[in-house]
Amino acid sequence: MINHDLVELENDEVSRDPGPCPIHPVGHRDGRFYFFDRAGQLIELGAQALGQAPQVRALFGGNLSGDWLRNKFPHFDRDGNLTKGFSTSDCNGWLVAECYRAGLFDPAKLPVRGHGVWLAQDMIAVHVGSEVLFISADGRTETRPAGFRDRGALWPAKPALTPPAPAVNAETAQQVERLFAKWHWWNPGEERVFTGLWAAGLLGAAITWRSHGLLVGPAGSGKSTLLELYVALSPLALSVNDYTAPGLRQLLTGRAAPLVLDEADEDPDTMGRLQQVISLLRRASGGEGARVVRGTGEGNARNYNFMSPTILGAVLAPPLMPQDATRITRMELVKIPDGADTLPCEAMMDWARKHAGALWGRAIDGIPRFKSNFATLRASLLGRGASPRLADQLGTILAARAMMLEDEPLDSAAAEEDLLSVGWLLQTGYQAMEDSGPVRCLQHLLNSPVDILEAGQRPTFERLIARALYAGDDDARRKLIDQGVKLARYPQRAEGIPESLFVSRSHPALSKVYAGTLWAGNRWADDLKHLPGAAAPPDSISLRYAVKARVVVIPLTCLPDGDRPAPAFGHCDESPA
């Protein structure tokens, strides 16, 4: 608490103690000053605003703090008589000094924690707007009014929400999955994945990985109703059906609570807007989430921190890059068959809202159980050859589901059983490699037509390569060289070794092939050099007489007709073999 001196009033015989200050200075930065106002909100003001009486009154809560301001900063008229107001100049000087005493405000070191569930050093913090609940490992809870600085973060006041209720039993949680199972899923067991995503969402940023989901369903599948049920079961959830990445950053910064984004279909008129949202979700998955810095019109930097576990809803699935597919798990509904029982929507929503608070309480109480489940499941997934990212994603989903539906942690046998129940999500090392950027980059090249007409048609790179290799077609070899591609041994003077595919790192024909793709701007070489066995020699190599170029050397085993390559990706060889 700030130490305030007594105020000596010149025409008063009694000193007046203003009492505890109703606001809390937080710090300053770049001519801006930060406070928790009387309501606990985080307020940012410029130096000029601090000298204006209306701004100061608003900061202090208007008439609620009138006596404090008058006692702390008395104002006298020209005759030396005490007025009913306060001295704005004295108040301004004091506010600036207190912010300097608090120190520089650094958003990177003092993140803002709003609605949601957070890790707070050795405790779990549940922010419900008007108050923050700190829960220790032994279950003890300390409740504090929002609007304070502690545990390396700022905890400002937000609109009040209902806190978690005492936890329900496992049977009530199992009823949630039975409700989700009333929908018609494409794959058996998809309701288990949806249950896990819901349960993980209740934990916000209290767990190290935030799993996202993509729910695909045609008209008549009940997709929107299922998303509505998800929101009803998640006390902190927000649902939005028209959005952009910048809008989400501004709306949800400092929030660690479930988010539903319906209508996630790529609109041809706004191509790329949804991909920006997906990119934001990718960065929000792990660690401290998506940390974005943007400039303001005043020349200042503004920080945004996005950490919301998200469910996307779409009629047609938007394209997902390989790095997104391991962070956004796809589920698919089918149209409700004719004659099927009608979903009891109103009864389900009423039941969900009635039990949502206590289900949330069960999730928070179950965090130790979740951690045990996650360690067991992740080890099983890695043992099956899953990538670390898939192990994080699927491990989190299934660990959260088991935490909610069971009272005891999973053992190894139960973990294996859970993995088998969602076998359609398991991906072998080779499948992961096939979906990777380097392989997709090579496939794009092989499937692209060359800029040469043969009998009125343009052959693909793959067809020319096949003719050169298997039909002894020297004309095909020459045409490939004209396109920046060559078949030769590596090193070129070596004997008794198979040929490799040389791809120029910079060539006009290849620039046309990759125009409009992720690999445009000569970026194709950055991915191709990560193919298994590929090399990126530092020196130029002869493509044809008097023409040299820097190339990426790709073993023919990477081509579709070659022997299947090893699934592991190592560092590329930057020196000649």
pLDDT per residue over 179-233, tens digit each? 999 999 999 899 999 999 999 999 999 999 999 999 999 999 999 999 999 999 9
**What does the H/E/C string look like for 76-129?**
ECCCCCEEEEECHHHHHHHHHHHHHHHCECCCCCCCECCCEEEEECCEEEEECC
Res 2: pLDDT: 39
* Interatomic CA distance for residues 311 and 228, integer angstroms: 11
435 CB neighbour count, 10 Å cutoff: 16
Kind of pairing between the strands at 212-216 and 328-332: parallel
* Phi, psi dihedrals of residue 143, rounded to the nearest 5°: -110, 130
Q: How far apart are CA 351 and CA 461, in angstroms?
A: 60
pLDDT confidence of residue 570: 35
CB 122 within 8 A of CB 79: no
Q: What are phi and psi of 159, to 5 degrees?
A: -55, 135
**Residue 9 DSSP class:** P
β-partners of residue 155 are 148
From residue 441, alpha-carbon distances to 151, 269, 389, 519, 571 in Å are: 46, 27, 21, 7, 17
Q: Give the pLDDT confidence score for residue 533 in this predicted structure.
A: 86
Cα 510–Cα 512–Cα 513 angle in degrees, nearest 5: 60
Cα separation of 72 and 78, whole Å?
Answer: 19
pLDDT at 355: 97
3-class SS at 460? strand
Q: What is the pLDDT of residue 11?
A: 41
Q: What is the DSSP string of 143-209?
A: EEES-EEETTEEE---S--PPPPSP--HHHHHHHHHHHTTS-BSSTTHHHHHHHHHHHHTTTBSSSB
pLDDT in the model for residue 263: 85
Domains of the chain and CATH, by start: 24-102 (no CATH), 170-425 (3.40.50), 437-558 (no CATH)
From residue 147, alpha-carbon distances to 136, 158, 402 in Å are 20, 9, 35
Low-confidence residues of the chain, pLDDT below 70?
1-16, 266-272, 289-304, 322, 427-436, 494, 546, 561-577
41: helix, coil or strand? coil
Task: Round to the nearest angstrom and report the end-to-end CA distance of the chain.
Answer: 68
pLDDT confidence of residue 290:
62
